[in-house]
Structure 1
Amino acid sequence: MTDPKVTNSEPTPGSLDTTLEPGQKPNEIAPPSRAQQVLRDILGGSAMISVLAVLLAFVAGGVLIAFTDSDVQEAAGYFFARPGDTFQAIWSSVSGAYIALFQGSIYNFRVDTFVGGIRPLTETLKFATPLITAGLGVALAFRVGLFNIGGRGQMLVAAGAAGYVGFAWPLPYGIHLIVAVLVGVLAGAIWGGIVGLLKARTGAHEVIVTIMLNYVAFYLISYLLTQQWALQAPGSTNPKSAAMLPTAVFPKILGDQFNLHLGFIVAIAATVWFWYFINRSSMGFRFRAVGENPHAARVAGINVSGVYVWAMVFSGALVGLAGVSQVLGTVTTGFTAGIDAGIGFDAITVALLGRSKPVGVFVAGILFGALKAGGYSMQAAQGVPIDIVLVVQSLIVLFIAAPPLVRAIFRLPVPGTAPKARTKVEVAK
């Protein structure tokens, strides 16, 4: 007879494995492996949340496109008689709109020549250029714990300064463009530095100050555009500047058949600088330390007030570079007080979508550039209101601001957490 206290070490067919891993409790599943934990971190990470937020925004945008389409509304009138017509109309409406968006922003496959086909992509990159640099400026402020909502004002003063140099200072070719860019960036840096200085010296909240300075910049530039001695074109009565001199205009990097200009290369250089500065420089380390915990950074000997000032200086310079790109690369025939084109506020969305990281901001800027370039094509080809693009952008912000909602919809894990341990008996059930 066998001793009843002795158990068989080998599991019988169909039974549960009773072998225990190190640290494993009896009758409990082993903890996830290293690879499984990495996969959980990737699936629940910020990059995946951003991608899925964009996907959800496009799905919601498709619903709005279907509801506003006249063919869908007509087919819905006899849905119970012929439901297939309604679904066909929805598919035609949504797919047609997004195909038009693709053709207007990436590649137009209806054009016979390759040059004509890639023209939409160059337009996307042109629209993305100021969004990238302005997004980097907002992201830099985010990394320090500041909310730079004054992109409009910083763009306007930078555009005004660069534009004045561009049409009023005849300088040699090459030097003229460099001087105009530097003056514009310096103006944006000073306008942003005012915010940082007030924050550091008086404790004034940067959101309030930047909003107020937006109005100051708008009315200042509007006034200067009505003065012949300042920005108004000579002999004109309209609030518009003179055209930029050819020596102060960003050259087109792919030839005259495309509108993509050197400003896009400058945006790439700004992205590389941002990455090096925030991740490899000592000042960037201080920026990140203050952004994580200003009180701990102050205890560690970091001049938090000085960091606030320099952060807003650099942030204003990057946002100002977007204004320079607008006036010297896009609106070279003269500019008005609407030169910012809402980019200062779009940059906040770009920085949020890019998680304030240089590569993320760069990709987000291209995405929003594609929405801007393809939105007009979508409206012209399918009759879809351009406001749908604005709704999609707004929904992206909504989903980005609510990661738990995105995780709940797609049942994503929370990064850094292990799955709830379950016993083998529970799994068998």
Structure 2
Amino acid sequence: MMRRFARCRDERRAAAALLALVTLTGVGSTGGCHHFTACHDRLCDEVSGGTEPDEPPTVMAGAGGRDSAAETGAERAGAAGEAGAGAQPPAGANCPPQFADCDESTLTSCETNLDIDLGHCGACNARCFGFCSAGKCHELEFLTPSFSGVEGGGSITVTDDAVYALVDPDDRLLRHLVRYDKVADATDTLLLFSQRPDHVLATTGGLYLFHDGTPTVWRVNEANVIKVDELQATSVTVAGSWLYAAGPGGIVARNERTQAMRSLPLPELVDPSISSLELGANGRTLVLLATTSDDLTVRYSIYRQDTGAASPIWQTVASGAGTPTRLRVTARAAYALVDLDYDPIDADAAPQELREHAFDGTSRVLQADYIVDFAIDNSSHVYLTPEADGAGLRVFSLANPKDVANYPMLFSMNTLELDEHHLYVATDSELGLSRVPLIEF
């Protein structure tokens, strides 16, 4: 079945979400309202107490019905008589660049960092719903409001022309597979599931859905017809035109064009009967993460092979202690988010580590914290979301992982995925699938 959202999918839900956001951001009758869509802008305009705009809003409509997200903080601040870039600062303020005395209190001076403050992004009282970087607001765009994102990596998959996501509706009874069409700028609900799959993967042959810990795989074709696939797998990935599936029986490869199948031999030390197998890929590089456990420890090993080689063989990349929960692969390394055995009483102990295992044999810990998910862009910048309310995004370069930039947001995120221009996120705040523009470094 298919249901068109058409961006005005449910006015009551959109209005309810909007009212919640107004409460969160403190936007009132004098405030601005942030990037929704045309339908949501109209609702936003009504909630903000403004008049109905006399022309269709394009990006955002605030109290006056005419505001645009393209307006600078100085324009908005100047119109309201507030201090900001290009406007007069509060009396007595003499602040260094990027800071301002936005509360105009004699007890605090130059307390506001205009580079990152969500309530004063680039200028005093210039609110930002998304994240603020270098005084520029990266507005959050909602693609499926009123839905909560599915926890855990793999619930979003991105292609050149679409984004697919598994999300939960308000009633939590059925899991929805939604598709955001980048070209048409519209979101559809493709299928509803009582089986509640955890992961979705898009390939040239269709969509694949599967559970954590169970070998059943569903395949969705271009006509949105779903059936149980003959593959038995707990992890699926794509390298070139081949689909690779790992399960209790080992690894199977299937050509998505010809449907020809073949088995892949496992590394000599990997026993699928006692190991959990996870696959990742980047271009022709296929990566296998094998995890084993006993009564005392959990250990993992990482292997890779060049699928385009005449005789592909597994090469050992690295091994380590801990329980991997997320695997990402780039052209030069495998990245694992690893849960550690630690004593919560020990304040210096790290609950998780984000580890880089390079294909040249070197390894390093990039971050140690409570981490929900991470993604890596083409310019070798890592985006991760810490497990804390309002933590937002943490961004750093692989060239200098100690130089970390933190971007607070109003809510936490479950899943991150990237394309060349946007960061797609699933939230646990019933804001569903959303996106923000990537940071320009």
TM-score of Structure 1 vs Structure 2, range by shorter chain: under 0.3
Higher relative contact order, structure no. (Cα contacts within 8 Å, ≥ 6 residues apart): 1
Larger strand proportion of the pair: 2
TM-score (norm 2): 0.21
